[in-house]
Amino acid sequence: MSLDSQLTIMEYNKASEDWYQFEDVFKVAIEKGEKERALEVYQELKQAIYIRLSPFYQEEELTRIFASIMGGIIHFACKDGGVPSAHLSLSIMQQKEIMQSALLEKSFHLDDAMKIWISSSCELVKSFSTYSYSPTVRRCVQLINNRLCDDICVEGLAKECHVSRQHLSKIFHEETNKTIIEYVQEERIRLAVKMMSADNLTITQIAYSCGFKDLNYFTRIFKRLMHQTPKRYQMVKRMLQKENLIK
């Protein structure tokens, strides 16, 4: 191994130890949705990674490698934090666009883009947090979130949670203040709203991708929860995105 003369073996080993230590702390902070803690540890983790890899890469390449490493850490932290795969995939696609812009445009600093990614990831984890639920309801929520695009029946959920349908329905409503069907509808619409950012998806494609088998039913539920039709909502959202008012 050949190291830069400015970096000793001892400093190199110390940077490696710091990297692994800060990565663990950072990942746990993301998993818990602790934004302030994650942003605090991010700076220490970044420093350790740069010291560890700087002998081997030029600055531009090192920046890209760092962004890739952080993307992987954040991805697995969000997944372990309970973010459903469908929401996680959409979030990653959106954040990659931000990071690519940061790498291409010097006016948008990498740190700014990374902090946006970290903050939005923590908010995403918090929005799917199930820490306050009982193990049975937590398991039920996880099953629903991972199967939004598939057929979901209360009887099947109860069976996989090892309780009766009546008991599951009762405790689910007590802890979430929603029926299981209401929760499924709300989560499917939440996923649909995120998918509407994509320019290449029609309302019909979005509806079926979110588990709705009937377009009229999807439109009715969407309008009840969002107070406007899917077509209208998508049109306004895309218009605002083009004006860079929302991401």
Please check the confidence at residue 2 and state whether its pLDDT lies above 60.
Answer: no
**What pLDDT shows up at residue 5?**
45
pTM: 0.66
For 103-153, write each residue's pLDDT tens digit. 666 545 778 888 888 998 998 898 887 878 999 999 999 899 889 989 999
Compute how many other C-beta atoms are within 10 angstroms of the C-beta atom of residue 129. Answer: 16
**What pLDDT shows up at residue 7?**
65
Structural contact between residues 130 and 138, judged by C-beta atoms closer than 8 angstroms: yes
Tell me the average pLDDT across 200-218.
93
**What pLDDT shows up at residue 102?**
65
50-64, 165-179, 200-214, 233-247: the lowest-pLDDT one = 233-247
Provide the residue type at 176 as one letter: T
Please check the confidence at residue 181 and state whether its pLDDT lies above 60.
Answer: yes
**What pLDDT shows up at residue 85?**
79
Please check the confidence at residue 220 and state whether its pLDDT lies above 90.
Answer: yes
**What pLDDT shows up at residue 243?**
61
Quick one: tokens of 23? Answer: 């990565």
**What pLDDT shows up at residue 185?**
96
Contacts of residues 101-105 at CB distance under 8 Å and 24 or more positions apart, as own/partner, are 102/67, 103/63, 103/64, 103/67
Q: Which residue's structure tokens are 């230590």?
A: 21
Compute how many other C-beta atoms are within 10 angstroms of the C-beta atom of residue 210. Answer: 21
108: left (phi over 0), alpha (psi -120 to 50) or beta: beta
More confident residue, 9 or 147: 147
Map residue 196 onto helix, strand or coil: coil
**What pLDDT shows up at residue 230?**
94
**What pLDDT shows up at residue 209?**
92
* C-alpha span between 125 and 30 (Å, rounded): 7
For 23-74, write each residue's pLDDT tens digit. 999 999 999 899 999 999 999 999 999 988 888 888 888 888 998 899 899 9
**What pLDDT shows up at residue 200?**
80
